[in-house]
Structure 1
């Protein structure tokens, strides 16, 4: 009976792995094809010509290198948002875990409730607020909303409760250390894996964010990769001699996921340890 359950779980895990890997494999293979091979060859195999170099050249030469501008915008949005969100979530989570103040449970309940609200439901109110502040069509319209991470606060609160011993904080206080110094020199070091976890979650969410930049930005020079590639795809689907953009869009999409893969490869050990430690509450 145990062996039967193990076989079933193995099959399910393979199916889940294929669900996530096959689209990436199709994207990688399709980026090596020219426009004609995209429609005449098997999707999960190479075409008659290996056109990856030509496709990459077309991507980076499109409209005098506009793809590079979109990549830079995306990097600014993602890294600024992820860094700010990690710092704010760490400070808030540490405070909720290690301090008691009036209304702390109520505030934390509000944060938990915010996790349940889909981001699309907040898009219109966010736009109205930023429009009133004359911040639409600016980088701040993307960076500032990315700084708010209710799930990050929850994760850091749970992680800080176990990772930062109360006895260590009391010892530092006896030695005369202030609260800010304790947090900066002790708390941040012990919370490193959790910080990296929040950083990665926010980085991926901001890097892949499409709806918020779509409604906030109207200048192509401020577009992230998601919106820029969507505009290219719309031009390709419109016809009228634009069909050659299909291979460019696909190759650009493949290039856009490479930085995320690199980030996960270099930070995965911190990410895994952060999830493992943060998910266990003593």
Structure 2
């Protein structure tokens, strides 16, 4: 009986080309350290200075008195540190009207920006996940609305609200703020990739209706885009100046932008009191909530902006 050979059969091996140690070191360095661009670094530094210098000037100027603003360099502190006195005087000047303007601004943001975000989420989800006649026409209208500046629509909006008798009321600011074409377009693009159709079909098979599918399945997935749109609409409503300027006459309904502008113009009126230190301090207090919102919601709006940028 002939025995089987146990000698292993050698397999042909392919030789890899030899790589010199110098090339290996260069490839490792290339993967570890990104390429540096002097021009890009200089441009980034210039943009950083352009963004931070006004904030530094505002912070330093808020620590000065009315006399210190005129007698000291703008980007340096004054001998008399008056930040806390300026804040106290800003909150109590003219019977605390600054707090009234702050509450008005919060009202416009909660109802206007919050409503605009909710409508943008609903509309973007519907346009992304449902097919209906006229969908392309709606897309063209949305893109066209994004290209139209809001100032071009201010006068027609004023004439329309004047016919309705809504001027000089909060609704003249809230209702136009409910429309955000850019927010609708952003949620449309985000919902297209963020909500899988298979997940929606699974929810419908389980017996969930469209409203339940939206609120319990789609809405949690749309959270990053929702926060991004909310931040954009909040900033736009918080800094809105031209629309309240033509819509409102009663100072009790002024937002912060219009109220601070009224304080700033006091110095040019007959017998008016110059309160530039209060205008600067009020401007500093005005931007604090926006900075806090961006810092607290940074991870959400950054992921919302990056959604859809990489296609798998």
Question: What residue in structure 2 maps to residue 16 of structure 1?
Answer: 47
What corresponds to 2:292 in structure 1?
262
Does residue 1:198 correspond to 2:244, yes or no? no
Aligned partner of 2:281 in structure 1 is 251
Q: Which digits, 9 at most, give the CA deviation of each residue in 1:170-211, with x for residues without a partner?
A: 111111111111111111110000000000000000000000
2:305 is matched with 275
> Higher relative contact order by CA 8 Å / sep ≥ 6: 1 or 2?
1
Q: CA deviation at 1:79?
A: 2.0
Q: Match of 1:176, SS?
A: coil
Question: 2:215 is matched with which residue?
Answer: 184
- Give the structure-1-normalised TM-score: 0.96
1:122 correspondence with 2:175: no
Task: Map 1:1-282 to 2 at 5 A.
Answer: 6-238=37-269, 240=271, 242-243=273-274, 245-280=275-310
Q: Offset of 1:279 from its aligned partner?
A: 4.3
Which segments of 5 or more consecutive residues in structure 1 lack a partner in the other structure? none
Larger fraction in helix: 1
Larger radius of gyration: 2
SS in 1 for 2:165: coil
Give the TM-score of the pair, scaled to structure 2: 0.87
Q: How many residues are paired up? A: 280
**In the aligned structure 1, how far is the partner of 2:308 from the partner of 2:265?**
42
Aligned-pair distance for 1:161? 0.5
Q: Quick one: distance in 2 between partners of 1:189 and 1:4?
A: 39
Contact 1:31 1:251 in 2 (8 A): yes
Deviation at 1:240, TM superposition (A): 4.0
Quick one: distance in 1 between partners of 2:240 and 2:272? 29
> How far has the Cα of 1:239 moved from its partner?
6.7
Q: Distance between the aligned counterparts of 1:16 and 1:278, measured in 2?
A: 27
| Structure-2 change in CA distance of 1:159 and 1:70 (3 Å) | same
- Partner-residue secondary structure (3-state), 2:37: helix
Change (3 A) 1:280 1:205: farther
CA distance in 2, matches of 1:97, 1:236: 53
Question: What do the CA deviations read for 1:94-149 (whole angstroms, capped 9, x no partner)?
Answer: 11110100000111110110000001000001111111111111111111111100
Moved more, 205-214 or 79-88: 79-88
Contact 1:213–1:223 (CA under 8 A) maintained in structure 2: yes
Cα RMSD (Å): 1.6
* Separation in 2, partners of 1:129, 1:241: 35
Q: Distance in 1 between matches of 2:197 and 2:96?
A: 54
